[in-house]
Amino acid sequence: MSDSADSEAGWSPTPDPHALAFDLDRALSAMVLVHARVPETALTAGALGTERAGNGACIGDDGLILTIGYLITEAEQVWLSSSDGQTVQGYVVGSDQESGFGLVRAVQPLDVSTLSLGDSDPVVAGDPVIVAGHGGRDQAINAKVTTRGEFAGYWEYVLDEAIFTFPAHPNWGGSGAIGMQGELLGIGSLLVQQVTPSGESASANMIVPIDLLKPVFDDLCHYGRRSSPARPWMGMLVQDVGDRLVVGSTYPECPADEAGLKPGDTVIAVAGEEQTGLAQMFRKVWSLGPAGTEIPLTMMRDGQPFETVLHSIDRNARLISGRLH
């Protein structure tokens, strides 16, 4: 958007602290830099790397930081930095594979403010938010919710009502979506492409709604994960290519790999039910039972269908524990 267009529309990419009902600088000081180091032997090292950096929001006076889980999954070392340059070590408190949230805590006092948890369920398209990362006003942008809707990720992940915001924050991982009362409405996860009303493609952020944290918050703090039975995990990355569900890769010595699935194989049906989309497929798998359930698949390879059975597991059983206490 050009400067003239900004002026005509009365919109600015930079939040104006004088136009807000809360202390913007105080809210932004709750955003910290999260830097994690993951061992090369970690299951996720190949896909996510061994050096990961993003943002997190302080939500507790005891130095509890909420971030996006992929930043800290299997982390052996975590550092947290405030906007004023203070850096302290942290440790992984817990993570939730279903929502995608992760919690870390500073081991020493971190001189930052805290954000209260808001209510994300009432958030609708058109609502204004501030999407912010570590770094104060320079890392905060005015944005609007474009849609609320389903999001399916190829890593066996589905959100029923993700929040999508535009314009996109360039440092989206772990960024905070802050409401107009200074409350935390969600945590940034991904950069996605959306089609604008004019038919153009534009970058947007996918935000994990904060209300998904509330039911599992105590479990994450006390046990490091949700206490309910884990979903069955297949251990493969599946791409939605047109109307085909194509295996992109499999994790070594995990169910899909042990069943002999290969990149390029196409998923046709789960338990005899034809599948046409990622969300549908994952929900069907999860409906069959908890981790350990057998997953019957009909696959296609080189134009030939074949049947196989995956012996699902709990994903957490293959991850290196990031808990340091």
**What are the tens digits of pLDDT across the range 186-201?**
999 999 998 876 778 8
Helix H or strand E encompassing 128? strand 128-132
Residue with tokens 């609502």: 127
Domains by residue range for the chain, with CATH: 3-19+116-214 (2.40.10.10), 25-114+218-223 (2.40.10.10), 236-318 (2.30.42.10)
Task: Count how many residues are written for the chain.
Answer: 325
3-state SS class at 104? strand
| Each residue's pLDDT tens digit, 201-238 | 899 999 999 999 999 999 999 999 999 999 999 999 99
Measure the CA–CA gap between 116 and 114, rounded to whole angstroms: 7
| Each residue's pLDDT tens digit, 37-57 | 999 999 999 999 999 999 999
Residue with tokens 């908890």: 290
Q: Which residues, 6+ apart, have CB-to-CB distance to 48 below 8 Å? A: 38, 70, 73
Using the 8-state DSSP alphabet, how is residue 22 labeled? S
- Residue by residue, pLDDT tens for the chain (325 residues) are 333 334 445 668 999 999 999 999 999 999 999 999 999 999 999 999 999 999 999 999 999 999 999 999 999 999 999 999 999 999 999 999 999 999 999 999 999 999 999 999 999 999 999 999 999 999 999 999 999 999 999 999 999 999 999 999 999 999 999 999 999 999 999 999 988 767 788 999 999 999 999 999 999 999 999 999 999 999 999 999 988 999 999 999 999 999 999 999 999 999 999 999 999 999 999 999 999 999 999 999 999 999 999 999 999 999 997 544 4
